[in-house]
Amino acid sequence: MSRMTTNAMSRRHLLTLIGKNLGAAAMMQGMGTLGFAATSTYAGPIRLDGAPKGTRILVLGAGMAGLVAAFELRHAGYHVQVLEYNNRAGGRAWTVRGGDRYTELGGATQSCEFADGLYLNPGPWRIPYHHQGVLDYAKRLKVPLEPFIQVNYNAYLHSTEAFDGKPQRFRAVQTDYQGYIAELLSKAIRKNALDDALSSEDAHLLLESLRQWGALGRDGSYQAGQRSSERRGFATADGGGLMPDAVPSNLLPRDPLLASRLWHWLSSGNEQDFQSSIFQPVGGMDRIAHALYSQVASAVTFNARVTAIVQDEHGVTVRYTDTTTRTERNAHADWLVCTIPLSILSQIDIAVGPTMRAAIDAVPYETSVKIGLQFGRRFWEEDEQIYGGITYTNLPISTIGYPATGYGSTGPAVLLGAYMWGPASYEMGALPPAERIAVALSQGSQIHPQYAREYQNGFAMSWSRSPFTNGCFAAWTDALREAHYANLCQIDGRIVLAGEHASHIPAWQEGAVLSSLDAITRLHRRIVNG
């Protein structure tokens, strides 16, 4: 240690070394885990004072954006009518339960057979703590929430190309990865491999921090023993009475661990969207949408497929088909809030200017696949002590999500057997629902061999085959935003658009809520001020 008094370490070189070792693990997961959202700017309930008496506003879509618009506009005194394509409210904020039927594009129909009280959220399934708009509506409408478990250190990280395909506990990978990196940096400091600008005092503090962070011994080594096992788990845990003494667990070998790339998932809980606390509505994600719907139910017309939107200086007319009777109808209003996804709106004749039309047509949609699997018992809890949280794998299914409710209950339970993005989700979506489920069972069995004997039934949602969205969310790029975003959000005559596609928080309910609040606030000003 005495040599450190004459050879201080360069902070630049220190950061370079840390970057070489930690850079990949510290990178954001980006699209892979949808951690690209901007922070919510929600500032509390809006006020829309002075609404002209008798003013009519038509809202297209009863998803979160449309329901928020209808709720707030009615509260302000406007006469509101809502047209919704589906026979239910909520849009993508949707919960599938036993008895539900769903027909996708191509005609495949699924009848959900989940047991009473069980469900799958095919769309959003979690609410970050900083999505204050959604959380405030839950609070105002008295929708109870419960914790959603994003990171469970007892869940698995799995790669078919590492450790003979055997899944590893999250905590073991994290503890060993940190330990090895801390040991390498500790050795570099002791050998003066880092030069010039770090003082002796800072060097001692850094070494101490590495010992704490990496569970190192006093000599700076990372080894199997009490200290590492207190984090990664013991081979034999502490018992009572005359039970065997605790036995430390063996470490994963350093080089295979680095080569495994399992560390890729260690930062999943570091992103702001996935930092605790995270919430879910008790009983399913659609509870908030249903609470909003209960406030505006008399204004909502279901089974209404919009075919054309016309406007002039006097008002707006929407042509739609009643899908239950095949009857063509018209709806009239003074103003229009349109929350139809752009993937659908681009197929509809809408009387807007060329810049808004170009914006509507420009934005592609990403897809996703979610598969819910019902099993006869909670084997992940009973056999493997996994209570909530997520297992990650390099298999196409990508994600296994364990239910964050009903812990310890007997009888059947539903877990999320796949949550897929990118090319694999298009390939999976091209399969019939029963084949998607078969793939999820086959791949999931590589992590949980109990699948085969415990499986009962499933439900497989492919958003590319959704007739009411033709995709999952608006896939903006920086170039597309630069060219079209402002034009998309402007009021065009008597029409304004809203939804997650008209926000900087795509794919989240919060984006839909904020977009809706912004759109109706600007529309209200236009109406009041002329």
The 3-class SS string of 129-173 reads CCCHHHHHHHHHCCCCEEECCCCCCCCEEECCCCHHHCCEEHHHH
Structure tokens that stand for 85 in this block: 């394509």
Asked if residue 442 has a cis previous peptide bond (ω within 30° of 0), the answer is no
Rg, Å, the chain Cα set: 27
Q: What is the pLDDT of residue 196?
A: 56
Pick the CATH number of 96-154+276-285+368-465 from 3.90.660.10, 2.60.420.10, 2.40.70.10, 3.90.550.10: 3.90.660.10
**Is the torsion defined by CA of 266, 271, 276, 277 positive or negative?**
negative
Q: According to the model, what pLDDT value does residue 188 have?
A: 83
Q: Digits of tens for pLDDT over the chain (530 positions)?
A: 333 333 444 544 544 544 444 443 333 333 333 334 466 889 889 999 999 999 999 999 999 999 999 999 999 999 999 999 999 999 999 999 999 999 999 999 999 999 999 999 999 999 999 999 999 999 999 999 999 999 999 999 999 999 999 999 999 999 999 999 999 988 888 776 555 556 778 888 888 999 999 999 989 999 999 999 999 999 998 889 988 989 999 999 999 999 999 999 999 888 888 888 999 999 999 999 999 999 999 999 999 999 999 999 999 999 999 999 999 999 999 999 999 999 999 999 999 999 999 999 999 999 999 999 999 999 999 999 999 999 999 999 999 999 999 999 999 999 999 999 999 999 999 999 999 999 999 999 999 999 999 999 999 999 999 999 999 999 999 999 999 999 999 999 999 999 999 999 999 999 999 999 999 999 999 999 98
**pLDDT recorded at residue 25:** 36
Distances 54 to 20, 49, 69, 228, 239 between C-alpha atoms, Å: 65, 14, 17, 70, 73
- Pairing relationship of beta strands 455-462 and 300-301 according to DSSP bridges: unpaired
Q: Could you tell me if 296 and 289 are in contact, meaning their C-beta atoms sit under 8 angstroms apart?
A: no
Neighbours of 334 (CB within 10 A): 17
CB 109 within 8 A of CB 103: yes
| pLDDT confidence of residue 275 | 87
Alpha-carbon dihedral sign for residues 287, 292, 293, 297: positive
**What are the two backbone dihedrals, phi and then psi, of residue 327, each rounded to the nearest 5 degrees?**
-90, 135
Of 507, 519, 516, 522, nearest in space to 68 by CA:
516
| CA quadruple 265, 267, 268, 270: dihedral, nearest 10 | 170
**Which pLDDT belongs to residue 161?**
96
Cα–Cα distance, 166 to 235 (Å, whole number): 16
pLDDT at 502: 98
Name every residue whose Cβ is closer than 8 Å to that of residue 490 and which is 6 or more positions away in sequence: 355, 356, 496
Structural domain boundaries in the chain = 2-22+160-260, 62-89+302-363+476-529, 96-154+276-285+368-465
The total of other beta-carbon atoms located within 10 Å of residue 45's CB is 12
Within 61-149, strands assigned E span 79-83, 96-97, 101-103, 109-111, 119-120, 127-128, 145-147
Query: Residue 24: its pLDDT value, please?
Result: 35
Closest CA to 498 of 70, 45, 89: 70
Residue 513 pairs in a beta bridge with: none
Q: What is the pLDDT of residue 349?
A: 98
Q: Take residue 175 and report the two structure tokens written for it.
A: 């503890």
Pull the structure tokens for residue 514.
């904020």
Which homologous superfamily is 62-89+302-363+476-529 in?
Answer: FAD/NAD(P)-binding domain (3.50.50.60)
Q: Kindly report the CATH number that applies to the domain delimited by 2-22+160-260.
A: 1.20.1440.240
Taking Cα atoms as reference points, which of 82, 53, 56 lies closest to residue 69?
82
Instruction: Specify whether the CB–CB gap between 52 and 527 falls below 8 A.
Output: yes
Rounded Cα–Cα distance for residues 67 and 312 (Å): 25
* Confidence at residue 187, expressed as pLDDT on a 0 to 100 scale: 86
pTM to 2 decimal places: 0.90
- Tell me the C-alpha distance between 166 and 401, whole Å: 18
Q: Which residues contact 22 (CB under 8 A, 6 or more apart)?
A: 181
